[in-house]
A and B are shown apart, each in its own frame.
Chain A
Amino acid sequence: MSTRLANQGRLINTDKAVSFTFNGRHLRGFEGDTLASALLANDQMLVGRSFKYHRPRGVVASGAEEPNGLVNLGKGATFEPNQRVTTTEVFEGLTATSQNHWPSLEFDVGAINTHLSRFLPAGFYYKMFMYPRSFWKHVYEPIIRKSAGLGKAPKDRDQDTYEHFHAHVDVLIVGGGIAGLAAALAAGERGARVLLIEQTAHWGGRAVVDTPEIDGMPAQEWVNTTVQALESMKNVDLRLRCMGAGVYDHGYALAYERLTDHQPDADGPRHRLWRVRATQIVTATGAIERPLSFAANDLPGVLLASAVRDYVVNFGVSVGDRTVVVTNNDDAYRTAIALKKAGLDVPAIVDARSEVEGDLIDQARALGIRIELGKGIAKVKGGKRVTGVALCSQAGQGAVLEEIECDCVAMSGGWSPVVHLWSHCGGKLNWDADQAMFRPDPERAPTGADGEGFVITAGTANGHLFTAEAVSDGWAAGRAAAKAAGHNKRGGQAPMGLDAAEGPISPVWLMPQGASHALRSKAWLDFQNDVKVSDVQLAAQEGFESVEHAKRYTTLGMATDQGKLSNINGLAILSQSLSADIPNVGTTTFRPPYTPISMASIAGVARDALFQPIRKTPVSDWANANGADNEPVGQWRRPYAYLRPGEDVHQAVNREVKNARDNLGLLDASTLGKLIVKGPDAGRFLDMMYTNMMSTLPVGKCRYGLMCTENGFLMDDGVVARMSEDTWLCHTTTGGAERIHGHMEDWLQCEWWDWNVYVANVTEQYAQIAVVGPNARKVLRKLGGMDVSAEALPFMQWADGKIGEFDARVFRISFSGELSYEIAVPAGQGAAFWDALLEAGAEFGVMPYGTEALHIMRAEKGFIMIGDETDGTVIPQDLNLQWALSKKKEDYLGKRAHSRSHMADPNRWKLVGLLTEDGSVLPDGAYAIADGKNENGQGNTQGRVTSTYYSPTLEKGIAMGLVHNGPDRMGEVIEFNKVDGGTLRAKIVDPVFYDKEGEKQNV
Chain B
Amino acid sequence: MSSFYLRVIAANRVFYGGLCRSVVIPDMDGEKEILAHHEDLVIAMMDGEMRFQEEGSAEWKHAVVGRGFAQIAHNRVTVLVETAESPEEIDIARAREAKERAEEQLRQKQSIQEYYHSSASLARAMTRLKVTSKYL
Q: Are A and B genuine complex partners?
A: no
